[in-house]
Copies of this chain bind each other. A is one copy, B any other.
Amino acid sequence: MAELTRRRLLGGGAAALGVVGLGAAGIGRATTTRDEKSRIVAIHGNHQAGIETEPQAFAAFVALDLRPGTDRRDLVGVLKVWAQDAHRLTTGVAGLGDSEPELAEDPARLTVTVGFGPGVFGPGVFAPDDAAKLRPEWLRPLPAFGIDRLEDRWNGGDLLLQVCADDPVTVAHAVRTLTRTVRSQVSVRWVQRGFRNAVGTLPEGTTMRNLMGQVDGTVNPAPHSPEFDSRVWNPGSPLWLAGGSSLVFRRIRMELDTWEELDRPARELTVGRTLSNGAPLTGTAERDDPDLDAVDRNGIPVIPPESHMARARPRNADEQFLRRGYNYDDVDGTGLLFASYQADVDRQFVPVQQRLADHDALNRWITPIGSAVFAIPPGFGVDGYPGETLLEG
């Protein structure tokens, strides 16, 4: 993954730098300072940026619908505009026709990740036979789970733009720029904005806490590891998706009023981890392996089998995926923008979610109110665009 984070520049040395393949801006330019480089994430490569990228502090997830009559050529046009503007904005250059070019000066590790909803395979873009061959089987709404209280205004979408950066002004400006230039082909369906801790407030690599106070995202494959490659990147099924992924996006409302009525031990039993550092109740450190067989002197499991952690825990290697969510706190309430990336939704995500929906002590205090699934096309080069392997195929 051609990514320039401060960590890699300071710690990764020459090996990390060798991976980088920036286009017009970046490492090749003698005038680029280290500080500038730490603000640029290269977006060209085998995979789209914004997934293996160390999570930025802010995100906007933007779902868009193809306007009636939009055909394949129009869609390709939209994707090419996005590819071009994403390259410009992520390197600190104003977008094409950018009305506020000064707001583009600091990319702040901006990434733009494009996703395809089921609607991309509609009759305007593909003949039905082709669509059936090309559409990943899992690219459809998730099964209805008993805990869901989905609201249509947070559901679905033909296209997704995931816009992440360490500065909220950068995110706002990028969303504006990327959506306004394509207004005649697509309409914005929903925008969901989230945040993590601001840069510099916590040591780098700290697992985020959600707004229930829980350490959230401990069990993630390490970036640039074989596990990451095999769990997150699609191996080529369907072929055009090789190097791509999938995004399951869920808006999960937290019922904080009742959650906060629980005392601390009850909350820890619900989650299966301590609140202080996220350690499993049988351990002392966040990444300790939980002992699900441990019992106390009365023979009662230390980690309740109904706890969130016990239910969510992968039953096999397939059930591992990357979680890269954000907090939300807005006029609609407080919660989590759950975002998981996996090679195959049905094989990896659905079994875990089904187990949680069937029985998870945490369910009383969380309510999924929005849901969407997107295919994430593989990466692209300087002259390419996201989805070219599908649309030129």
Q: Please report A residues at the B interface, Cβ cutoff 8 Å.
A: 57-58, 99-103, 106, 108, 166-170, 172-173, 175-176, 180, 191, 193, 195-202, 209, 211-213, 256-257, 259-260, 275-276, 327, 329-332, 334
Q: Tell me if A196 and B169 are in contact (CB < 8 A).
A: yes
Complex alpha-carbon distance, A41 and B102, angstroms: 31
**Nearest CB in chain B: distance from A33 CB, A:** 14
Q: In the assembled complex, which residues on chain B have CB atoms less than 8 Å from the CB atom of A195?
A: 168-169
Which chain B residue has the least Cβ–Cβ distance from A108? B201
A168: contacting residue among B169, B191, B198, CB under 8 A: B198
Across the interface, A106 reaches (CB within 8 A) one of B172, B197, B199, namely: B197
**With contact pairs A106-B202, A330-B331 given, residues A259 and B99 touching in the complex (Cβ less than 8 Å):** yes
In Å, the complex CA distance between A102 and B278 comes to 11
Residues of B within 8 A of A330 (CB): 193, 330-331
Q: A102-B275, A168-B197 are in contact. List 14 more A-B contacts (CB 8 A).
A: A99-B213, A100-B209, A101-B213, A102-B213, A103-B213, A167-B197, A168-B198, A168-B329, A169-B195, A169-B209, A172-B329, A176-B256, A330-B330, A331-B332
- Chain B residue nearest to A99 (CB atoms) is B260
Task: Judge whether B331 and A209 touch: CB under 8 Å.
Answer: no
Copies in the complex: 2
Residues of B within 8 A of A332 (CB): 331
Contact of A103 among B101, B175, B176, B209 (CB under 8 A): B209
Chain B residues with CB under 8 A of A102: 209, 213, 275-276
**Are B193 and A169 in contact (CB-based, < 8 A)?**
no
A295 to B253, CA, bound (A): 58
7 A-B pairs closest in CB distance: A100-B213, A99-B260, A168-B195, A172-B329, A167-B198, A167-B201, A106-B201
Whether B213 contacts A108 by the Cβ 8 Å rule is no
A108 near B198: Cβ-Cβ < 8 Å: yes
Among A172, A212, A329, max chain B CB count under 10 A is at: A329
* Alpha-carbon gap, A330 to B168, bound state (A): 12
Between A and B, 7 residue pairs with Cβ closer than 8 Å are A100-B275, A102-B209, A167-B201, A169-B197, A169-B201, A193-B330, A330-B331
- Distance in Å from the Cβ of A4 to the closest Cβ of chain B? 16
Chain B residue at minimum C-beta to C-beta distance from A332: B331
* Contact indicator B103/A327 (Cβ below 8 Å): no
How far is B57's CA from A259's CA once the two chains are assembled, in angstroms?
29
The complex places the Cα of A259 from the Cα of B180 at a distance, in Å, of 12
A332 to B191, CA, bound (A): 11
Please indicate the chain B residues that have their CB under 8 angstroms from the CB of A198 in the complex: 57-58, 108, 166-169, 198-199
Q: Given A198-B198, A212-B100, are A191 and B331 also a contact pair (CB < 8 Å)?
A: yes
* A327 and B172 contact, CB distance less than 8 A: yes
* Nearest CB in chain B: distance from A149 CB, A: 18
Give, as a whole number of angstroms, the nearest-CB distance from A6 to chain B.
Answer: 11
| A103 lies within 8 A of B211 (CB) | yes
Q: Which residues of B contact A212 (CB under 8 A)?
A: 100
Residues in B whose Cβ lies below 8 Å from that of A175 = 329
A391 → chain B, closest Cβ, in Å?
29
With both beta carbons as reference points, the residue of chain B lying nearest to A262 in the complex is identified as B99
Asked whether, in the complex, the Cβ of B276 is within 8 Å of the Cβ of A201, the reply is: no
Residues from chain B with Cβ under 8 Å of A334 in the complex: 172, 176
| Chain B residue contacts of A213, Cβ below 8 A | 99-103
Q: In the complex the two chains form, is A201's CB within 8 Å of B166's CB?
A: yes
* A197–B104 CA distance with the chains assembled, in angstroms: 12
